[in-house]
Amino acid sequence: MAWTWRFETSDGTETEPAVQPEEFSTQGDAESWIGQVWKELLDGGTDQVRLFEDGKEVYGPMSLNA
């Protein structure tokens, strides 16, 4: 299984993240990573994210705004 993030502006347009992600082997690893870098992503222009497992959306959009 591969867990990946999609990075978006507030209108749902895909955007390039300020911090380059990797593919994660577990949902927990993916969520831990987003918890560590969310502020950098937000500062870089990402407003929301979506989590995918093997290309299938698990949840989102999840806002990075407090």
pTM of the model: 0.93
Q: What's the pLDDT at 45?
A: 97
Q: What's the pLDDT at 66?
A: 76
pLDDT-derived band at 1 (thresholds 50, 70, 90) equals confident
Cβ–Cβ < 8 Å for 5, 50: yes
Q: Which tens digit of pLDDT belongs to each residue from 23-45?
A: 899 999 999 999 999 999 999 99
pLDDT at 58 over 90: yes
| DSSP-based three-state secondary structure for 37 | helix
Q: Which residues pair with 62 in a beta bridge?
A: 49
Q: Which tens digit of pLDDT belongs to each residue from 3-17?
A: 999 999 999 999 999
